[in-house]
Each structure stands twice: as structure tokens, then as C-alpha cells.
Amino acid sequence: MTSNTHEHGLRERKKQRTRELIADTARELFLERGFDAVTVAEIARAADVDAKTVYNYFPSKPELFYHRFLEFEQAMVDAVREREAGVSILGAFGRFVLDRQGVLGQADASNRLRAITRTIVDSPTLLAHEQQVFARLTASLATAIAAETGTHPSDVTPWVVANALIGVHRSLIDYVRRETLAGTPNRKLARHVRAQAKQALAALESGLADYGIKKS
């Protein structure tokens, strides 16, 4: 390893530590006081950096809150692209969603999940930004699906599939939020979410031709 390579590695690790420090500091302030009540200047002071540094890592306060969605987006696309031979896009996406539980997967973190949920639902700013995040996830997934299937990116089908898959994810998030605010503990909720996910994915797998046929 050359000296330049070593120094570059040190700089990158320092940047990552600073990024995580800012994000972790901001998250605790948001959970304590509410998203809209916390300023970037206050986050900077608490993290012992200046406001410019915060903006260097995170272009906006909502993106600071949702920064892990960037990792989620890349992991989602990778799950589709790197699926094994014989595995469908639906199968790869379903496995990805079922394997990623985050705070929900921590049985002793029910109160923290409730605090995170309350922070989001109490902030119109976060809820509005979340719509942009889901739109970006849908676009990224549609692009990956088009590439995987050899379909032209402007064709409708990759977008229909992407919207359906992201719709499953969004619906599960909404379900978790309702149940969390109703007091359902993580241990129980994690089981219920898994069951709900399997039902939703099964509905997509079997198709909608026979779904909801009106009886005479």
C-alpha cells in the first residue's frame, strides 16, 4: 500500500465518521424535540462541527433524516441485479424486503420505533419529502428492471412493476406505523409484518386477474 493510498483511506474513514456523527446527533435531537423544532445550526453545535460541514454531507435537513434511504436504494437495486439464476425480480425483491427490518427487528426497541414513527407523522416536511424518496426509489427500480429485462426505459411495463413492488414496501411501512402508534410491540409486530408481506407478494405473484371478482 502506498502512502497516498493509506492517506486517502484515512481521509475517507474520517469523512464517514463525521457523516455518521452528524446523522446520529441529528436523529437524537429530532426524536427528543421533533423534526421541525431542530435547526441545522443546533445540529452543528451538538456535533461540534459548523453548519457548512453539515450541508457538505447532507444537502437538506430532510435528506439528513432520510439519509439511510440512499443505502436502501442501492441495496434494493443490487438485490435485483445480483439475484441468482432462476430467481424472478419479484422473488428477489420479496426476499430483500423480508430480510430488512431495521429497528423493527430489534425486540427491545419498541419505544424507539414509536419515537421515530411519531417524529415522522408529526412533521409535514418529512412526510412530503418521503413522497420524493419513494418516487426516486420507484424510478431507480424501474430503470433496473428495464435493464434486466432488456426493455426500453420508456416502456410502461418496468414502471408498472416498479410501482407495484414499491407499493408493497410503502404499504408495509404504513402498516408498521399504524400498529406501532397503537402500541403493538416489536416482537409481535415483526411477525405480523412478515405475514402481511408474504400475502401481498403472493397476490402479485398469482396476478390480479382473479382478484376481487364481484359475486352475483
Q: Write out the three cell numbers for 3.
A: 502512502
How far apart (Å, rounded) are the C-alpha atoms in residues 207 and 216? 22
CATH number, domain containing residue 27: 1.10.10.60
Number of H helices, E strands in the chain: 10, 0
Q: What SS3 state is found at 83?
A: coil
Q: Is residue 94 part of a domain?
A: yes
**Domains contained in the chain, number:** 2
pLDDT at 43 (0 to 100): 96
For residue 1, pLDDT beyond 60: no
User: Does 117 lie in the same domain as 98?
Assistant: yes
User: Does 109 lie in the same domain as 43?
Assistant: no
pTM of the model: 0.87
**140-192, pLDDT tens digit by residue?**
999 999 999 999 878 999 999 999 999 999 999 999 999 999 999 999 999 99
Residue 51: domain span? 3-60
**102-153, pLDDT tens digit by residue?**
888 888 889 999 999 999 999 999 999 999 999 999 999 999 999 999 998 7
156-181 and 186-206 helices cross at what angle (nearest 10)? 160
Q: Which of 60, 80, 102 is the last residue of a domain?
A: 60
